[in-house]
Amino acid sequence: MATAAQAIPHTKRTLTGARVGTLFRRWGLRGTAIVYLVAAIAVPAFAVVSQGFGDGMASLKSAMDTAGAWEALRLTLATSAAAAVINAIFGTLLAYILVRYRFRGRGLLSAIVDLPFAIPTLVTGVMLVALYGPASPVGQALQDAGIKVVFAQLGILLALLVITLPFTVRTVQPVLLELDTAEEEAAQTLGATHWRTFHSIVFPALRPAITAGALLTFARCLGEFGSVVIISGNITGRTLTAPVFIFQLAMSFKPQEAAAVATVLFALSFVLVLVTTRLTRLPTEVL
Amino acid sequence: MSVATADTDLGRERLHQHRRRRLLHAALLSVSLAYLAVLLLAPLAGILWVAFRHGFADIAQTLAQPDVRHAFLLTAIIAVITLVVTTVFGVIVAWVLARQRFRGKSLLNALVDLPLAVSPVTVGLMAVLLFGRGGWFEPWFSAQGIQVIFALPSMIMVTIFICIPFVIREVAPVLEELGTSEEDAARTLGASSTHSFRRVTLPNIRWGLLYGIALTTARAIGEIGAVLIVSGSLQGQTETATLYIYRALEERQTASAYVVALSLAAVSVLLLGTIEFFKRRASRKDGS
Amino acid sequence: MSRSGSIRVEGLYKRFGDFVAVDDVTFTAEEGSITALLGPSGSGKSTVLRMIAGLEEPTAGKIFMEGEEHTYKSVQERRVGFVFQHYALFRHMTVRDNIAFGLSVRKEPKEFQKKRVEELLELVQLGPFRDRYPDQLSGGQRQRVALARALAPKPRVLLLDEPFGALDARVRQELRRWLDELHRELGVTSLLVTHDQEEAMELANTVVVMHEGAVEQVGTPAEIYDHPATAFVAGFVGAANVLAGHVAEGHIQFGDDRVAGAGHLEEGVAAQAFVRPHDVRLAGSTPHEGSVVAVVDRVSRLGWLSQLTLHLPDGQQLIAQVPKDETEGIVEGVKVVVDLRNAKAFPAEAQPEHAEAAV
């Protein structure tokens, strides 16, 4: 009996010793992470999808039959796309001057570009209304000129542009920083003008980053609520966007219909986010 | 030594080239500044102007109102709880993602990105579907006598959902880049895992972590869409600062709305300062 | 065959803030020749090259190409071919498109572009690689493409900025030989920046030795080697022993010994004598006028020659390279009598970097 007990100790010790400790720690941590993410994210997400499409397409159909539904969807897609394009252009420009130009206040400018990450979207809406609404002299002047910003689609676009201001800038900036100016110098020695150099050498290198910025902008705009709900006036059929529409459905006790539309929107966004963050390995702040 | 002066042909050519370049610089700079002015700077000025039109006394008065103070307090409470939860669990998830390899990791990775793609109204909807009338978990909670929806718990939960990715996405890459060598060294010197985490890992991820925390705070303070759906908007009870602004605007109390909005804007500018500070420290660390 | 132009640089001066990178540089690169700008890193040679290309603007000075002043012309107008140390190939374009770029900028007809590209591909022997991308090529191949690209628009002048610096030793040798042949064939005026003196000596017709922004000497490789004008050139180009002493009656005196060659220096001044290792000759067994007695510290047999590490009575070290046969019976500790030939004397100043003789 004694010998038998002595014959086993080796295995016994390793199991009860350090290995158990690390095993537990490893699985303990992994388990915690998994439970956290599943409980906090997967379950709620699943709830929306299953509630929205639990009875097939019925909820979605019913939702889209509501007045202003299609217009809301179209408006959201259109304004998001417009914002993505404009953001791509100006974002590239901003990135270019922040990286390539030296001027006083460059650091401050860079910080200002990040401001939309810090400001609540609701406050953005309020700021825009304060300046461009009919109560302010600027707003009045615009209205006299026939340009309606508040309670109009232009206001929506403006709000989206503010919210997504940093996006393309932040995707393009690191790429520009890493670019080797030797290629551009080589192009110049071969006779290329400034513009030709940008077009043939710099732009192709930036294209993936610009595209990523545009796609992320688009995905972010699809779901924007806080600023749009303030500035658009939410006029059904005219300035009502999809997120506000979902909000209205939810508040009028039609959760399944809201869930159906919400699922469509978030599926589109999710795919875009996954694709672009994988492509550019971007840190979160952009969203 | 000969230097080209303006009255030589070559000197003129050189000045001409310089001038062209400077003109291009100036043009691009002006366009960029104009863009920023229209979108950000002018509106900021606008809100300042509206709020101050009513004078300092009015501002102080508004901010002293119990409703307003309670709203700020609630915002702070939610932000702090969100911060703590997302930081603690965020570091754990970041560690698991950066240091461990297992099947299904890419799925977990995708899950972390999910909240970024969801509109806040959808998040509010999720809470309603789970905890509202007829919701999946509602029966259990009402049996316990706990009010989740239209009360603080759900407001905290939706804010957490929205803020989950920030800390994780800032800390995980830093952990990956750091590698395990320092922690291994600590272990050979006899440090336990928690000890090595506290004395070795934590200082190394410090700036990325703080950056993520700053982003989380800004996002939590600014949340409106989701809390609007789950809060029930009971004035003085379940109203955050953003909800206060929303309701004040609806009730045409524009002055108070603007004052509170301005306060939040001021807080965000301060927060921006810390965000930029941590961001710079974080990127400097990895040698860029 | 394009007419190849000469390059003339006068009083070139470049300052970056407080730092003077190029200080009063003047030289001429003859039409059709290869001129090397030789110097250690930081000597300003790359800056001179970039100013000639137009990539930097001189603070003062003039640049002429084919007799015409180009000092403030834009890069594009100068029509120079430039080859970068790290190739700078357009990574998003194929080899073919890279080479054609200079032609496409000039809006040459497509047919002509195609023909010229094929010509150059054959010249650099990279025909099968025409549709590859730069990241699919080796370092040596990339540099050949870079050369082809620079030559495609028939530039009047070819500027090369340490073109082989990023390549490993064997590839460097091959490409050096290849560039030499290419130059013989094409005859384009070339200006080559390098820190490798072997390269400069092998390839160049004229060498401009630079140090800390200034020109130390301009001459043929033989002139630079045999008749260095300054202590720096004596120490930098080729191996050299440096003996410190002072001037006494036209000789440099160190300890009890002296070596001739200081006639041009002031009496009593501290000075240095530079003697090449192969100019330290074994001279029999009896000391005579002009010889020194040294003790052998180490004998290294290196194939056909032997390297003797000696030390002189006053403690200074001397390295001699002699044919193997002459060193029969010489071992450590033995005293030998040596002649120091062709000593170059200079006033004692800053130590040049390559004062130690090396094999």
Give the model confidence (pLDDT) of B253-276 as tens digits.
888 898 999 999 999 999 989 988
* B139 interface with A at CB cutoff 8 Å: no
A14-28, A142-156, C137-151, C214-228, range with the lowest pLDDT? A14-28
CA atoms within 13 A on the CB side of B201: 24
The mean pLDDT of C157-167, rounded to a whole number, is 92
Q: How far apart are CA A25 and CA A19, in angstroms?
A: 10
Taking CB atoms and an 8 Å limit, are B128 and A255 in contact across chains? yes
The model's pTM: 0.81
Give the model confidence (pLDDT) of A44-74 as tens digits.
999 999 999 988 898 899 899 988 899 999 9
Q: What are the chain C neighbours of A200 within 8 Å (beta carbons)?
A: 90, 101
Q: What are the chain B neighbours of C61 within 8 Å (beta carbons)?
A: 1-2
Q: What are the chain A neighbours of B45 within 8 Å (beta carbons)?
A: 131
Q: CB B88: neighbour CB atoms within 10 A? A: 13
Q: What are phi and psi of C138, to 5 degrees?
A: -80, 170
A18-22, A38-42, B115-119, B136-140, range with the lowest pLDDT? A18-22
Q: What are the chain A neighbours of C99 within 8 Å (beta carbons)?
A: none
Q: What are the chain B neighbours of A29 within 8 Å (beta carbons)?
A: 92, 95-96, 100
Question: Of A190, A199, A203, which to mutate for an interface test with C (greatest number of C Cβ within 10 Å)?
Answer: A190
Give the model confidence (pLDDT) of C342-352 as tens digits.
888 898 875 55
Residue of chain B whose Cα is closest to the Cα of A113: B36
Give the model confidence (pLDDT) of B2-25 as tens digits.
455 555 666 677 777 788 888 989
Residues of B within an 8 Å Cβ radius of C: 1-4, 10-11, 13-14, 17
Give the model confidence (pLDDT) of C255-291 as tens digits.
878 888 888 888 888 888 899 999 988 888 888 877 8
**B95, two tokens:** 């560690």
Min distance A177 CA to chain B CA atoms (Å): 10
Give the model confidence (pLDDT) of C315-330 as tens digits.
899 999 999 888 888 8
A138-147, C89-98, C233-242, C259-268, range with the lowest pLDDT? C259-268
DSSP annotation of C108 reads -
**B176, two tokens:** 């990956």
- What is the interface pTM, i.e. ipTM, of the complex? 0.88
Closest by alpha carbon to A94, among B29, B24, B276?
B29
Q: CB A149: neighbour CB atoms within 10 A? A: 23
* Residues 6 or more apart whose Cβ sits within 8 Å of residue C34: C183, C190, C191, C192, C203, C204, C205, C206
Taking CB atoms and an 8 Å limit, are C76 and A193 in contact across chains? yes
Task: Give me the helices (H) in C124-168, please.
Answer: 139-151
| Enclosing H/E stretch for C159 | strand C157-161
CA atoms within 13 A on the CB side of C17: 1
Taking CB atoms and an 8 Å limit, are C105 and A192 in contact across chains? yes
pLDDT grade, residue B223 (50/70/90)?
very high
Biggest distance spanned by C-alpha atoms of chain B: 93
Q: What is the pLDDT of residue C210?
A: 96
CB C157 within 8 A of CB C5: yes
Q: What are the chain A neighbours of C76 within 8 Å (beta carbons)?
A: 188, 191-193
Of all residues in chain C, what percent carry a pLDDT higher than 90? Answer: 52
Question: What torsion, rounded to 10 degrees, do the Cα atoms A217, A222, A224, A227 define?
Answer: 80
Q: What are the chain A neighbours of B120 within 8 Å (beta carbons)?
A: 223, 225-226, 243
What are the Cα distances from residue C98, in Å, to A29, B222, C183? 52, 51, 21
Min distance C59 CA to chain B CA atoms (Å): 7
The mean pLDDT of C71-91, rounded to a whole number, is 89
pLDDT at C358 over 70: no
Task: Determine the residue type at A257.
Answer: E
The mean pLDDT of C67-94, rounded to a whole number, is 89
Taking CB atoms and an 8 Å limit, are B10 and C71 in contact across chains? yes
**B6, two tokens:** 């303006």
Q: What is the pLDDT of residue A1?
A: 41
Give the model confidence (pLDDT) of B44-85 as tens digits.
888 888 877 777 777 888 888 888 999 999 999 999 999 999
Min distance A278 CA to chain C CA atoms (Å): 22
DSSP-based three-state secondary structure for C149: helix
pLDDT at C356 over 50: no
Taking CB atoms and an 8 Å limit, are B1 and C61 in contact across chains? yes
Taking CB atoms and an 8 Å limit, are C13 and B17 in contact across chains? no
Taking CB atoms and an 8 Å limit, are C153 and A188 in contact across chains? no
